[in-house]
Amino acid sequence: MERTEVAYAKLNLYLDVVGKRPDGFHDLKSVMHTVTLADTVTVNAKLADYSCITVEMIDSDIPGDERNLAYLAAEAFLEETGISAAVTVRVEKRIPDRAGLGGGSADCAATLRALNALFAYPLSKEALLSLGARLGSDVPFCILGGTRLCEGRGEKMTAYPMEDMHFVIAVPEDERVETPKAYALLDGAFDGYKNDDGALHEMLFSFFEEDGLDGIYNAFEGVILPMSPQAAALRSRFISLGARAAMMTGSGTAVFGVFDSEESARYAAEDIEGAFVCESAPPYEGK
């Protein structure tokens, strides 16, 4: 049996790091938004005496072994459900990796969704989300998609309806930053994170509701853009090409511009080599 899932990239429309936790992770306030730039994940599974997992990556140098989040997703799913199966995951890669677009998390989430559907939903949505949270901070959001305010490490989610938007995304070729390094830079930049007293929360909501995109914010920009001249230049370029807003996503270094129409997005993208034109993607349907 086989099932194909679309694995959407995510953008952070708002990302603040509000504290460092005893477990070494950070508490966030983040508005995540899925977009139609996507990988395609096809999962083939059949019951077997012994479990065996193969991950095939198309158009990607990422290895398909135990370091791959799709592999880890299949392994964790079989362990959690006690199912013994031969699983093959084929990932057609389009989302640039190590760019803040959540590509690995999207493939991980798509593998979990596909396996749960193929085996007639042995895991409830809650169980799937908590399994996802063990695999990566962004995975719970990537299981659901749409637009959500994500708190804690990212696993506490509130649906956050927003208008559909048109985006252009560009990734600087030589300025990839590993996520732990980006967090270490933030730790070094602050004496201590702001205490979350609820004021931030309120501000966030009023920004998005009353002022459209004026509230878009990414705490990582302050530490990543000064050392990423290409990303900083792309951000300015988007604004000069008529974007309503432009920002880096996640811990970088992909940058996105928000445009009023598909036409204006396409027009801007013509000027930027390797840019992706995409739009808001809806939440995933299904159980």
Which residues are known catalytic residues? 10, 138
One symbol per residue from 188 to 207: x for binding ligand C5P (CB under 6 A), - otherwise; what is it? Answer: --------------------
Whole-number Å distance between alpha carbons of 76 and 80: 6
- What the block records as the tokens of 174 is 């030589």
Q: Judged by CB under 6 A, which stretch of 158-166, 176-184, 222-230, 239-247 contacts ligand C5P?
A: 176-184
Q: Are 248 and 171 in contact (CB under 8 A)?
A: no
Q: Contacting ligand C5P (CB under 6 A), which of 3, 94, 153, 244?
A: 153
Nearer to ligand C5P, 55 or 182 (CB): 182
Q: Contacting ligand C5P (CB under 6 A), which of 7, 15, 28, 169?
A: 28
Nearer to ligand C5P, 41 or 108 (CB): 108
Give residue 45's identity as a one-letter amino acid code: A
Q: Contacting ligand C5P (CB under 6 A), which of 34, 68, 111, 137?
A: 137
Say whether residue 183 binds ligand C5P (CB under 6 A).
yes
Q: 282 vs 3, 8, 146, 215, 285, CA distance in Å?
A: 19, 10, 5, 22, 9
Q: Which residue is nearest to ligand C5P (CB)?
A: 137
- DSSP assignment of 225-278: GGG-HHHHHHHHHHHHTT-SEEEE-TTSS-EEEEESSHHHHHHHHTTSTT-EEE
Backbone angles phi, psi at 152, to 5 degrees: 70, -140
Residue 152: beta bridge partners?
28
Q: How far is the CB of 136 from ligand C5P (least distance, A)?
A: 4
Say whether residue 218 binds ligand C5P (CB under 6 A).
no
Give residue 57's identity as a one-letter amino acid code: M
Q: Contacting ligand C5P (CB under 6 A), which of 64, 96, 132, 136?
A: 136
Q: Are 85 and 46 in contact (CB under 8 A)?
A: yes
Q: Contacting ligand C5P (CB under 6 A), which of 3, 6, 25, 94?
A: 25
Say whether residue 167 binds ligand C5P (CB under 6 A).
no
Contact positions toward ligand C5P, by CB under 6 A? 25-26, 28, 136-138, 153-154, 179-180, 183
